[in-house]
Amino acid sequence: MDLLPDAAPLATKLQNTLIQYHGIRDCEWRVAKKTKDATVWRKPSEEFSGYLYKAQGVVEDVTNRIVDHIRPGPYRLHWDSLMTTMDIMETFEENCCVMRYTTAGQLWNIIAPREFVDFSYTTSYEDGLLTCGISLDFGEARPSFVRGFNHPCGWFCVPLKDYPCHSLLTGYIQTELRGMLPQSAVDTAMSSTLANFYSDLKKALKA
């Protein structure tokens, strides 16, 4: 079995990468999808041949509670319609772990179910939080799943200055689904998945 990475330097590098994405100028992004809950942009990824997606929307709740619903833990499986299983494989500290999870098929199963093994790290950022992750080549892929790979991904969640009970949630996602897939199908699925993420999250927080 592959060895797990040293958590501390990986966490620092991951955090720095996400902060770098957060500083990308607006003019470099192109709108991919817009709904009442969120706007999704994209730009070519520097990590692989697909896109880096940016999603942003205001969520009516406090930062800590929102991030608790996003990061690995008991909440995520209950509301995220795309995630079908999640196991914490290794815990380094309270805010740092390795998880294995599976996702449902998409686009009438043109995109078959996927499995991911991700290193996850949550830390403070400005007045809020950053929860971020990156896939690891760790463990054997289960036979009924294609093993996907998340390049550096993360969610910044900060309270709105004038409305502290509302938070601005900004995500950066670049998922390499792998397998033989038409790029157009991947792009459609990614934009829709990110927009749905916001509407599902809002419903869960109100429940």
* Extended strands (E) in the chain: 30-34, 39-44, 51-59, 83-93, 96-103, 114-125, 128-135, 146-147, 149-150, 153-159, 167-173, 175-176
| 116 occurs within a structural domain | yes
When pLDDT is cut at 50, 70 and 90, the band that residue 131 belongs to is very high
Could you tell me what percent of the chain has a pLDDT over 90?
A: 75
| 2 occurs within a structural domain | no
pLDDT score of 2? 63
Least confident of 14-28, 35-49, 103-117, 125-139: 103-117
Residue 44's domain comprises 7-206
Query: What is the DSSP track for 30-64?
Result: EEEEE-SS-EEEEEE-SSSSSEEEEEEEEESS-HH
Least confident of 16-20, 81-85, 115-119, 201-205: 81-85
| 84 occurs within a structural domain | yes
| 150 occurs within a structural domain | yes
| 174 occurs within a structural domain | yes
Whole-prediction pTM: 0.94
Cβ-based neighbours of 204, under 8 Å, separated by 6 or more: 69, 75, 78, 79
Arithmetic mean of pLDDT, 121-140: 94
When pLDDT is cut at 50, 70 and 90, the band that residue 195 belongs to is very high
Tell me how many domains the chain contains: 1
pLDDT score of 5? 76
CATH number of the domain enclosing 149: 3.30.530.20
| 1 occurs within a structural domain | no
Alpha-carbon distances, residue 35 vs 56, 58, 165, 199 (angstroms): 11, 12, 22, 9
**Which tens digit of pLDDT belongs to each residue from 10-37?**
999 999 999 999 999 999 999 999 999 9
| 199 occurs within a structural domain | yes
- On the question of pLDDT at 54 being above 80, the answer is yes
- On the question of pLDDT at 3 being above 80, the answer is no
Question: Of 111 and 173, which is predicted with more confidence?
Answer: 173
Owner of token pair 């927080």: 205
pLDDT score of 140? 84
Strand partners, 90: 98
Residue-level length of the chain: 207
What single letter denotes the amino acid at residue 113? P
Distance CA 15, CA 206 (A): 30
Query: With contact defined as beta carbons under 8 Å apart, do 177 and 145 qualify?
Result: no
- On the question of pLDDT at 1 being above 50, the answer is no
